[in-house]
A and B are shown apart, each in its own frame.
Chain A
Amino acid sequence: DAKTTQPPSMDCAEGRAANLPCNHSTISGNEYVYWYRQIHSQGPQYIIHGLKNNETNEMASLIITEDRKSSTLILPHATLRDTAVYYCIVSGWSGAGSYQLTFGKGTKLSVIP
């Protein structure tokens, strides 16, 4: 799977949009971009995923650049409950029979009152 690069930490004011960047310059054509988040001492929670087109659901929006080498997760109106570690993951068929999602250190988002 392609590797991803995320900033280690970010702050966002409550009520403002949080924009979390992710670089995945080695992504291949059949790999999806996934976003998860982990609130302290809990299991990670799926947020959204996409292949080429921008995606939106009730939690967030995912913007993928046209060359697919980077993406941005947008939380439109951040709340204190959005404080968590956010993981950007790229994954697809490895050819070896695996479906591994590799979770790096992610971005620690702190929403400030």
Chain B
Amino acid sequence: DGGITQSPKYLFRKEGQNVTLSCEQNLNHDAMYWYRQDPGQGLRLIYYSQIVNDFQKGDIAEGYSVSREKKESFPLTVTSAQKNPTAFYLCASSIKGRTSGFWNTGELFFGEGSRLTVL
């Protein structure tokens, strides 16, 4: 079945360590996104990519890095520079397209999330 797979589901990290969260999609979507969610809050955009080998910073990119070497994959690295990394991380993808003369983000498909805890 087509979908988005995030791994690991749960991750524990010691302070000062970098960790990489995996996100893979087999939906043939052009655009991929990383969001962060803190308890009781909405989602905040970290990075997004509309095409292979290109990505853009979102609202809270500091302390994070990404790569987009393949259309199917958009890994997120949480670096030691991220001061408060404990959070729920969500990856999403969408078709990039133009509908009826207007740009339309299309439907976002989300993975099940990765919960990162810093010990």
Contact = CB atoms under 8 A, between A and B. Distances in A.
Interface string B60-104: 000000000000000000000000000010101010100010111
Given A32-B104, A44-B108, A100 B58 contact: yes
A42 B6 CA distance: 12
A92 interface: yes
Contacts of B100: 51
B1 interface: no
B11 interface: no
A100 B110 contact: no
Contacts of A106: 42
Q: How large is the interface on A (under 10, 10 to 19, 20 to 34, 35 or more residues)?
A: 20 to 34
A92 B45 contact: no
A79 to B, nearest CB: 22
Among B42, B44, B90, B111, max chain A CB count under 10 A is at B42
Main SS class of interface, B: strand
A104 B107 CA distance: 17
A44 B103 contact: no
A99 B102 CA distance: 12
Among B48, B105, B111, B115, max chain A CB count under 10 A is at B105
Contact of B92 (A43, A49, A93): A43
Interface of A: 30, 32, 34, 36, 41-46, 49, 51, 87, 91-93, 97-106
List the 9 closest A-B pairs by CB distance, nearest first. Answer: A43-B110, A93-B103, A103-B43, A103-B42, A99-B105, A30-B102, A46-B107, A104-B42, A105-B42
